[in-house]
Structure 1
């Protein structure tokens, strides 16, 4: 491999591999290896096949997405954004939600309607996202518009007046009712760390009845029923909003 002349001892050892006794030993060792470790190789092969399938899906999805860009809007993509997206995508192609985000990012970087919103950090943000992060950020986009804010709340335990409270847990988010609210709370904190959302309890949404679902949440109902006096619980209403970076991220990285 190094294109150098091997010492005679090593050269002879390599040649001996083709001799009958050595070849037989090699076969025997190989057979024993398969008996002991064969399942590991099988699992690895299965992973490779699965990855190759996902990679081909990614290629086809990207090709289809690029082909839908009107010819008059096609532009040369940013090398920085595209190279980073492809590099980071290789770690995420097996997750549909993340793969589709990379597909949107790369194809929209070639579209003049979106190019000004593309930021080099988007590829790294997607790479660090969990599938749940992706599902939550996707809620901010409908087919017609970008939704700026969604409802969130804290269940606050009051011990000695409104200025002394403990939130349990930090953020209650119920827009994905089939997902544990504590997992959603973790994802909101992660999305906030990425800089794509901000969480505030200083303002709330004006949509009628949008916070009613929190009043019927089992955790809230249970605490109201079983907490001893003088501990009180109340709901602090708030909003999860897209930051300016988040608005560009949703516009670029989420396909309609």
Structure 2
């Protein structure tokens, strides 16, 4: 039996008619160009798998529900470059934030007024994200800045010890103060811990130990950027919370390293504050894929 004869035996017509069940007419209209046997010839094959069929039907229902609650926008047919890859994804994405993001993008592509939000790159970005990364985006979709701290060890040598401040009133004391102030300390800053955001304590992640990978991937995909030169005064309380609560153990371990130092070098803790912010691409991505229709 060749592939064409085999496909002819599949319930293709029944599958496509399911889109036009009572209450799903808007979904059928929006996907009219996409739901085409020539374009989705392998879809019936995938839906022979019971789990895939359940995922697809439930995701399609969620999409239809999103369309049905909107009555002010003008329904349009979803472009194939958006619809085809998303329809394929809906056959194996469980009901989580990543599936929701794909469905939101499909929804935005279903209206004339919001189609402009749908950039072709967003499909690729979604394909590069994990479910945990989608959770992070949903949690911080209305946040301007996510504070973080980096912990460094400042290592240096002091040839001249710090003099008693009271002794600076004498000529000899003043000389000691000048020698101490302008000595070459051979400063080196050693990175101890970085990108400490506490996100894993705020978001229920499947794999919280992967938080550094998640942040790096979000940055790699152009959605976020790290600001390390500046910090926000409005976040001072949050910075303190990161040290005293979210990353207390890490901070205490670092203090122990400093206290137990027996080398010729002197060690100090150097705390650097910064924040994560969404790029322009990231903000557009949030509007198209993460946020609901307004």
Q: TM-score, normalised by structure 1?
A: 0.71
Cα distance in 2 for residues equivalent to 1:108 and 1:162 = 57
1:172-201, CA deviations, whole angstroms, 9 ceiling, x for partnerless residues?
121331657652121100000010111121
Question: How many residue pairs are counted as aligned between the two chains?
Answer: 208
Q: How does 1:101-250 map to 2 (within 5 A)?
A: 101-141=101-141, 146-160=142-156, 164-177=188-201, 182-207=209-234, 208-216=236-244, 217=247, 218-227=249-258, 228-229=260-261, 230-250=266-286
Cα distance in 2 for residues equivalent to 1:132 and 1:183 = 9
1:94-129, CA deviations, whole angstroms, 9 ceiling, x for partnerless residues?
251111111111001223443222111112211221
1:199-253, CA deviations, whole angstroms, 9 ceiling, x for partnerless residues?
1211222324121122112111221133333232222111111011100111111
Query: What's the secondary structure of 1:110's corresponding residue?
Result: coil
Cα distance in 2 for residues equivalent to 1:242 and 1:205 = 15
Please state how far the C-alpha of 1:78 moved relative to its aligned partner: 2.9
Cα distance in 1 for residues equivalent to 2:78 and 2:224 = 26
Misfit runs of 4+, over 6 Å: none
1:19-40, CA deviations, whole angstroms, 9 ceiling, x for partnerless residues?
xxxxxxxxxxxxxxxxxxxxxx
Cα distance in 2 for residues equivalent to 1:157 and 1:114 = 50
**224-233 or 240-249: bigger deviation:** 224-233
* Partner residue in 2 for 1:28: none
Q: TM-score, normalised by structure 2?
A: 0.63
Note if contact 1:125-1:194 (Cα within 8 Å) is conserved in structure 2.
Answer: yes
Task: Specify whether residues 163 and 171 from structure 1 end up closer, same or farther in structure 2 by C-alpha distance, changes over 3 A only.
Answer: farther
Note if contact 2:153-2:268 (Cα within 8 Å) is conserved in structure 1.
Answer: yes
Please state how far the C-alpha of 1:149 moved relative to its aligned partner: 1.7
Cα distance in 2 for residues equivalent to 1:162 and 1:173 = 31
Q: Structure 2: give runs of 5+ residues left out of the alignment.
A: 4-48, 157-184
Query: What's the secondary structure of 2:237's corresponding residue?
Result: coil
Note if contact 1:172-1:184 (Cα within 8 Å) is conserved in structure 2.
Answer: no
Cα distance in 2 for residues equivalent to 1:69 and 1:187 = 33
CA RMSD for the aligned pairs?
2.7
Q: Structure 1: give runs of 5+ residues left out of the alignment.
A: 4-47
**188-197 or 150-159: bigger deviation:** 150-159
Note if contact 2:56-2:90 (Cα within 8 Å) is conserved in structure 1.
Answer: no
